[in-house]
Structure 1
Amino acid sequence: MNRGIIGAAVGAVLALTWIVLGFWAFVFVAVAMFIGVVAGRAMDGHFDPRAFADAFRGRRSSS
């Protein structure tokens, strides 16, 4: 699948959650999706905590 399509689907799920269930349900769904992505990447062996922390802080490296 194209990453744009996946991003649109994720955005639609979060928007509908907010509209239908409210803000706190939206926050819960967003956190659950984030935990799922991290767990999936860790199981695949593609999760680097240091790179993730650097990206979260806005630090990127081209090397």
Structure 2
Amino acid sequence: MSLAVIGMIAGMALGFAGYFGGFGAFLLVAALGAVGFFVGRFLEGDLHFDDLFRPRDERRR
């Protein structure tokens, strides 16, 4: 599945949440989507736990 299709599905989910549940539901779906994104990147090995808490100076090396 391409990133464009995944983005479209995520946008549609946010749109439905905003329309039927209001702004609070929109924010909840967006926040849970962001958490799911980071968990997925972590599980795939693209994101490491140390990258989140390492100072910016050490990341450039």
Report the TM range for the smaller structure's normalisation: 0.7 to 0.9
One-letter amino acid of the counterpart of residue 4, structure 1: A
Identity of aligned residues (%): 29
**RMSD across aligned positions (CA):** 1.7
Partner of 2:19: 19
- TM-score normalized by structure 2? 0.73
Partner of 2:59: none
State the 1:40 CA deviation.
1.1
Q: Deviations over 1:26-54 (max 9, x none)?
A: 1011000100110111111101546xxx8
Larger Cα-atom Rg? 2
What are structure 2's unaligned runs of at least 5 residues?
57-61
Moved over 3 A (4+): none
Number of residue equivalences: 51
- TM-score normalized by structure 1? 0.71
SS of structure 1 residue aligned to 2:47: coil
One-letter amino acid of the counterpart of residue 31, structure 1: A
